[in-house]
Amino acid sequence: EAGVAQSPRYKIIEKRQSVAFWCNPISGHATLYWYQQILGQGPKLLIQFQNNGVVDDSQLPKDRFSAERLKGVDSTLKIQPAKLEDSAVYLCASSSGAQETQYFGPGTRLLVL
Amino acid sequence: QKEVEQNSGPLSVPEGAIASLNCTYSDRVSQSFFWYRQYSGKSPELIMSIYSNGDKEDGRFTAQLNKASQYVSLLIRDSQPSDSATYLCAATPRGGSYIPTFGRGTSLIVHP
């Protein structure tokens, strides 16, 4: 069974630029999560999807971050414009249900200069 | 504010010893608990999940849950250098929107 795929793996941009990350969950997983993990901290949930609907986006900085999951499969997370403090690893995870085990992708390391 | 608290460590134990990792949570409606292991530069991977009070054993790992004290722990028996990693505790409530909350993780170092 293929795992959660993410791209790109690494991205370096300058502040005020925009960037987009892509995630393809495990086949059949209805729940998809985007996390931000800053060095030395635990993952912080940005947004949770159930199929193509948003379950929670209370910690998503909506003035600069957006996410979508069209057709309830893969998802994109966008930052526009980026700030220095957005430098982090962005993790995508999926699960078969909201209470089930989450499987994480390899993450995208973002460095904002 | 729902919080999951973990001592950041590092916790250093000799090879072969028992490593004890602890986690407390603030939200009483939390019902599902997970321990993830995260190697440096890698993504988290599930070690164990626990939903009921008591102990749950899987090989060298034992998870313990005490809902009255809002406390979860992970014991690693016969610790190996390959167990050196950061261990993340996560809690998810039942009901509502099931939003998971992660602790900041405890760094474990197993030295030969």
Burial class from Cβ neighbours inside 10 Å (0-12, 13-18, 19+) for residue A105 reads buried
The C-alpha of B105 sits at a distance from chain A's nearest C-alpha, in angstroms, of 6
Are B76 and B19 in contact, with CB atoms under 8 Å apart?
Answer: yes
Angle at B105 between CA B103 and CA B107, to 5 degrees: 170
- Phi/psi at A27 (5° precision): -55, 130
Residue range B14-50, pLDDT digits in tens: 999 999 999 999 877 778 899 999 999 999 999 999 9
The total of other beta-carbon atoms located within 10 Å of residue B56's CB is 15
For chain B positions 81-100, those within 8 Å of chain A (CB to CB) are 88, 92, 94, 97-100
Residue range A28-80, pLDDT digits in tens: 999 999 999 999 899 999 999 998 899 899 999 999 999 999 888 999 999 99
For residue A91, the chain B residues in CB contact (below 8 A) are: 43-44
Residue B43 to residue A107, Cβ atoms within 8 A: yes
Burial class from Cβ neighbours inside 10 Å (0-12, 13-18, 19+) for residue A75 reads buried
